[in-house]
Chain A
């Protein structure tokens, strides 16, 4: 059992510790939905808009909020926690037990992946109940678009942690990466409303591609393989970088 990829006791402890960080709980679980609620309170966001292809802006902002949860978990939560664990010798301490420190790494990934998905579900539920945003019309396609996005966010977080010697550096890189990623995901301007050229460029980034895949699935289409492929390719690249440079101490 000690050789299992995820150690259940370590995972339970990490979930409990996550619950004791009000900041993480707010930014990852609640903030994306809160943003949705604030935008949805603006009357014009509830009117169909031609630049959104006839959708209401609030409809376009549900997938954006879903991606925002992933970004908060992957860029703001995990890298700082993991780097702190390395910096303060917690990974080393675990290396002297029969459980490898990889158990902490995998627990962190499951934890932040799970928190991101919970945040996504909350955004979908609030969108549906408060603003009558239709649930994804192609649910399986939505899941298919969401999973590579979750993995990309975790891989990006792991890569940041691998490249950061201290928690401060991890925080700085995480924040610096957060804003362009948020832009690509459509936080300031959903990809549907972006000029064609910009949408094409953003479509080459992991979360821009994920946003387009989510939009397609939300509208009832099967997400395009090219979008899924872009996100998946970034995930592979970032995972390789994390594996190459990650240090246990």
Chain B
């Protein structure tokens, strides 16, 4: 049984569908990413998983339970970090950790959690005095304090500086290593590519694609990118008819094209036939960025 099951989920606000038939299943122990542009319906989807919203239609199960009807039992095994929420301004870090620990039957040791998240120095600091990164770490701690089986992290690193972001990624990897399933909502490709085992790309309230990060890149039209500066001009027509070509661009005499492995072979053959040397030849895999743009473009 999947630890999270979502099937044919629908939710509208004022007649406008925010989520329009989303289905996916998250297996125990994986990091599952929900990736999509702003307003795609990512947050609404996870809010239904958290039991904060009642779906209009469809089925949501967390460890086999309905998050709305069985809210309390689901809340005991699901820890959540919300996109926008605060704590009482004058509540200290220690008080927040102890208070939230008291809500769960078998909480984690808040001292260890504080240490793991680098909050030990800040235990007596009030919430309002914490920096953005410290607040974010406190919310991760609160998501983990009930010893959950699943954590939902929504836009975890938005607003963090690059170093704090990397530290947070390490933390997610640690959480996963301790056997907790992670549902991660993000619009950062790099984050999704680095952390996720599988990704559902959501666009306009629907799942546009669901695969591993590598799978998403491979299945997109321009999985491989070739860049070179030819020693002599090449015929534009010859380039345009390359097999599997997904994109072609000229800039300052340099040619950048994307396509499949077949495209790469054809380029090399073409260069050899015309005895043209390719200076500064670079062949790279496309990033998830490219795949994402490709996938959400097709939908549009």
Chain B binds chain A: yes
| Shortest distance between the CB of B206 and any CB in chain A (Å) | 25
**Total A-B pairs, Cβ < 8 A:** 61
Kindly list chain B residues whose C-beta atoms are within 8 Å of the C-beta of A96: 50-52, 75, 78-80, 82
Query: Which of A14-22, A125-133, A186-194, A203-211 is the interface stretch?
Result: A14-22
Q: Which of B13-21, B28-36, B83-91, B292-300 contacts A (4 or more CB under 8 A)?
A: B83-91
Q: List chain B residues, Cβ under 8 A from A249.
A: 52
Given contacts A13-B99, A96-B50, A97-B103, contact A2 B72 (CB under 8 A): yes
Distance, CA A85 to CA B99, complexed state (A): 16
Which of A3, A13, A21, A90 interacts with B86 by CB under 8 Å?
Answer: A90
Chain B positions within 8 Å of A20 at CB level: 90
Q: A37 → chain B, closest Cβ, in Å?
A: 29
Q: Does B158 contact A (CB under 8 A)?
A: no
Q: Evaluate contact between B146 and A88: CB separation under 8 angstroms.
A: no
**What bracket does the count of chain B residues touching chain A fall in?**
20 to 34
Instruction: Give A36 to B274 CA distance when docked, in angstroms.
Output: 102
Interface check A169, CB cutoff 8 A: no
Contact indicator B52/A13 (Cβ below 8 Å): no
Contact A98-B88, Cβ < 8 Å, known A2-B103, A10-B99, A89-B82: no
Q: Specify which of A13, A89, A90 is in contact with B95 (CB 8 Å cutoff).
A: A13
List residues of A (49-99) whose CB comes within 8 Å of B's CBs: 85, 88-90, 92-93, 95-99
CA distance A97 to B104 in the complex (A): 8
Within A12-37, the residues touching B (CB, 8 Å) are 13, 16-17, 20-21
A4 on interface, CB distance cutoff 8 Å: no
Chain B min CB distance to A141 (Å): 39
A89 contacts which chain B residues (CB < 8 A)?
82, 84-86
A20 to B126, CA, bound (A): 11
Whether A21 contacts B88 by the Cβ 8 Å rule is no
In the assembled complex, the Cα of A99 lies from the Cα of B100 at a distance in Å of 9
Whether B52 lies near A95 (C-beta < 8 A) is yes
CB distance from B137 to the nearest CB of A (A): 15
| Residues of B close to A99: CB separation below 8 A | 103
- The residue of chain B having its C-beta at the shortest distance from the C-beta of A92 within the complex is B85
The total of chain A residues at the interface (CB under 8 A) is 22
Residues of B close to A95: CB separation below 8 A: 51-52
Contact with A along B27-50 (1 / 0, CB 8 A): 000000000000000000000001
Chain B contacts with A in 69-122, Cβ cutoff 8 A = 72, 75-76, 78-80, 82, 84-88, 90-91, 95, 98-100, 102-104
Contacts of B100 in A (CB 8 A): 97
Q: Quick one: closest B residue to A104, CB to CB?
A: B88
Enumerate chain B residues within 8 angstroms of A9, measured Cβ to Cβ.
98-99, 102-103
**Residues of B close to A90: CB separation below 8 A:** 85-88
B88 touches A85 (CB 8 A): yes
Q: How far is the CB of A85 from chain B (nearest CB, A)?
A: 7
Are B75 and A97 touching (Cβ within 8 A)?
yes
Pick the contact of A13 from B50, B91, B104 — CB < 8 Å? B91
Closest chain A residue to B83, Cβ basis: A89
Evaluate contact between A88 and B76: CB separation under 8 angstroms. no
Most buried by A among B72, B80, B102: B102
Residue of A3, A16, A21 most packed against chain B (CB within 10 A): A16
Instruction: List 28 A–B pairs whose Cβ atoms lie within 8 Å, in order of A's numbering.
Output: A2-B72, A3-B72, A9-B103, A10-B99, A13-B91, A13-B99, A17-B90, A17-B91, A21-B90, A85-B88, A89-B84, A89-B85, A90-B85, A90-B86, A90-B87, A90-B88, A93-B82, A93-B86, A95-B52, A96-B52, A96-B78, A96-B80, A96-B82, A97-B103, A97-B146, A98-B72, A98-B75, A98-B104
Binding site for A on B (CB under 8 A): 50-52, 72, 75-76, 78-80, 82, 84-88, 90-91, 95, 98-100, 102-104, 142, 146
Question: What 7 A-B pairs are tightest by C-beta distance, nearest first?
Answer: A89-B85, A96-B80, A88-B86, A9-B102, A93-B85, A20-B90, A98-B75
| A9-B98, A95-B52 known, 8 other contacts, Cβ within 8 Å | A9-B103, A16-B95, A17-B91, A93-B82, A93-B142, A97-B103, A98-B104, A98-B146
